[in-house]
Amino acid sequence: MSLREALAAGEYVITAEVGPPKGTDVKEMLHAAAALKGRVHAVNVTDNQSAVVRLSPVVACHMLLERGLEPVLQLTCRDRNRLALQSELLGAASLGIKNVLALTGDHVKLGDHPTAKPVFDLESVQLLKVIGELNAGRDGAGSELLGPADFFAGAVVTPEANPLEPQMAKFEKKVAAGAKFFQTQAIYDLEKFASFMERARAYQVKILAGILLLKSVGMARYLNKNVAGVFVPEPLIEELKGAADPPAKGLEIAARQIRALAGVCDGVHIMAIGAEEEVPEILDLAGLKN
């Protein structure tokens, strides 16, 4: 069952992600993907994540597809103008890649080529509109294509942003532009997320809550200091601090979140960041067996 079909059927959907390598050796990426096979509905493939040069996400998606996993192509506007974005999307469609997550992208100053020239010819809402045009058999200029795309388009939202209103305004624009599903930024305040969901349910879209695996107190503190819209509450930090095995406690916290979110949203998106082999254990702890 595809990601689109699973969400339409009302399943509690699980997605995860892998990062393409910085180079041509794909063994580690494929090992991570193999750990996820049969346990998740789809696997996101990041696009030069954190503005760091990596293998093409379209190539990586194709490799996953060949191995029986359903990929979600993350596509950022940072590195390509509208011609290149459309070319990339048509290439992905021709390879059978159906899911795409439209992102504006982190600024190049954050990455390993800080003097690179950022593009940002489009932003995420405009990219969603372009995806809709490709699905309708037209390019962004309205010219007819020799064969349409058939993308299931998604976007991101940050439910714990403070203030929330700018995020809600962008969320509404993304829905209007054609987003059918959303994967959120990491959430830790489930009460605040439930309030967001009360508002989001007014729209005919599916919401997957972001679960970012905590590995240490230092990581939690870093998130609170450096990542906008993410806040790890002090009680969770205290749990990690008091644990004999903080990484194991992180798995337990993630599993607890997944259980608590069942019935609140349409599923979860697990971001393990280099610990993808731990995702099956998280799902087992959450009671989501094969």
| CA 277 – CA 33 distance, rounded (Å) | 8
Domains with residue ranges and CATH for the chain? 3-284 (3.20.20.220)
| CA 92 – CA 202 distance, rounded (Å) | 32
Q: Collect all residues with Cβ–Cβ distance below 8 Å to 137 and sequence separation of at least 6.
A: 144, 145, 147, 148
Per-residue pLDDT reduced to its tens digit, 109-136 = 888 999 999 999 999 999 999 999 999 9
Q: What's the pLDDT score for residue 249?
A: 96
Mean pLDDT computed over 8-35: 97
Q: What's the pLDDT score for residue 290?
A: 65
pTM for the complete prediction? 0.96
Mean pLDDT computed over 245-251: 95
Per-residue pLDDT reduced to its tens digit, 65-94 = 999 999 999 999 999 999 999 999 999 999
Task: State the angle between helix axes of 234-242 and 246-261 in degrees (0 to 180), rounded to the nearest 10.
Answer: 140
Evaluate if residue 228 carries a pLDDT over 90.
Answer: no
Q: What's the pLDDT score for residue 263?
A: 92
Query: Percent of the chain at pLDDT above 90?
Result: 94
